[in-house]
Amino acid sequence: METSSYSKETIKAVLRFQQDEVDSHAIYTRLADKLPNENHQSIMRQMAIEEGRHANRWASVTGLMLKPRTLRVSFFFFIARFLGITFAIKKLEAGEGQAQIGYASILDQFPDAKEIIAEEDKHEDALIEMIDEERLKYAGSVVLGLNDALVELTGALAGFTFAFQNTRLIAMTGLITGISASFSMAASEYLSQRSEGDGSVSPAKSSMYTGFAYILTVALLVLPFFLTQNFVLALGCTLGMVVLIIFAFNYYLCTAKDLSFKKHFFEMLVVSLGVTLISFGVGIVVKKFLGVDI
């Protein structure tokens, strides 16, 4: 039918659907080469073909041939490369769900959109079945290292700050404490997996993920104390870093594992900042009653 046969609102919606399908075709085509499983590669390429067919269906309505949005395609390839294929797939899955809702709004004008909705539903199921990534198998180890570092070191740094009031001394003490604790946590995780593991994960890899998550968090939390001589400002920056780390990690984990972001974010934040507040008080008490000046 001619484009003029439809209202401006309908054409605008169809253009949006067409652009999304063009983008999805490009994303699936590019991601297919990154998947390690040949069967998954084949499924992803088939999905790309179907998205291309959907785009052509809407092109027959709009009379336009659209190009994929480079930034959007590159963004998904970036997160697949650096945050993992699972995270990218979960984001794509969410997009497929939104597409189904959008198409439902124009069924009265385009009855054949039911077939597209059915295929989008199949795509969502196919994407879910592809999720099997090593880094998620060890998510528990990462949570252990990250959470312990946030809770223990943030509290320790708060205590050191008001006991020492010297950024270099705080940074040095925090770094030594954090690095020592990271090796301790990694060793504990290794022994725990060796004694209680069910064989589904490697104790060595599990301890590596725990230790790496811990020491990376330590480095980020201690960094502000190396960049300024104002201990109050440094502690404030560290607390801001805590919030950012908790936000970023929980967004990643909750997206990849279909968990409640709000619940996990606030739970982790309250625990970390609660321990920090207690340690803040301990530091003041120790400095006052022991009469230690450094």
Domains in the chain, please, with CATH? 3-131 (1.20.1260), 135-290 (no CATH)
Residue 44 pLDDT > 70: yes
Distance between CA atoms of residues 252 and 260, nearest Å: 11
Q: How does the average pLDDT of the chain come out, rounded?
A: 78
Helix (H, G, I), strand (E, B) or coil at 45: helix
201/136: higher pLDDT:
201
pLDDT tens digit string along 194-253? Answer: 776 666 667 788 888 888 888 888 899 999 999 988 988 998 898 888 888 888 877 777
Helix (H, G, I), strand (E, B) or coil at 131: coil
Distance between CA atoms of residues 94 and 20, nearest Å: 13
Inter-helix orientation angle 38-62/8-32, to 10°: 160
Pseudo-torsion of CA 268, 272, 274, 279, nearest 10°? Answer: 170
258: region left, alpha or beta (phi > 0 left; psi from -120 to 50 alpha): left
| Range of 6-20, 75-89, 101-115, 126-140 with top mean pLDDT | 6-20
Residue 186 pLDDT > 80: yes
> CB of 160 within 8 A of CB of 180?
no
Q: Which residues contact 205 (CB under 8 A, 6 or more apart)?
A: 134, 138
Residue 23 pLDDT > 60: yes
Distance between CA atoms of residues 246 and 248, nearest Å: 6
Token pair of 101 as six digits? 């809702």
Amino acid symbol at 239? L
Lowest mean pLDDT among 42-46, 61-65, 147-151: 147-151
Distance between CA atoms of residues 11 and 31, nearest Å: 30
| Range of 8-17, 35-44, 94-103 with top mean pLDDT | 8-17
Confidence of residue 86 (pLDDT cuts 50, 70, 90): low
Considering the chain, what percentage of its residues have pLDDT values greater than 90?
Answer: 5
Neighbour-count burial for 233-243, b at 16+ CB within 10 Å, e otherwise:
ebbebbbebbe
pLDDT of residue 22: 92
pLDDT tens digit string along 49-60? Answer: 888 988 898 898
Distance between CA atoms of residues 33 and 44, nearest Å: 9
Residue 256 pLDDT > 60: yes
Burial (CB count <10 Å: 0-12, 13-18, 19+), residue 67: exposed
Confidence of residue 1 (pLDDT cuts 50, 70, 90): very low
pLDDT of residue 11: 85
Confidence of residue 30 (pLDDT cuts 50, 70, 90): confident
Alpha helices, DSSP H, located in the chain: 8-32, 38-62, 70-82, 85-104, 113-130, 134-137, 139-148, 154-164, 167-196, 203-227, 231-257, 261-290
Considering the chain, what percentage of its residues have pLDDT values greater than 70?
Answer: 76
pLDDT of residue 224: 92
The average pLDDT across 280-288 equals: 67
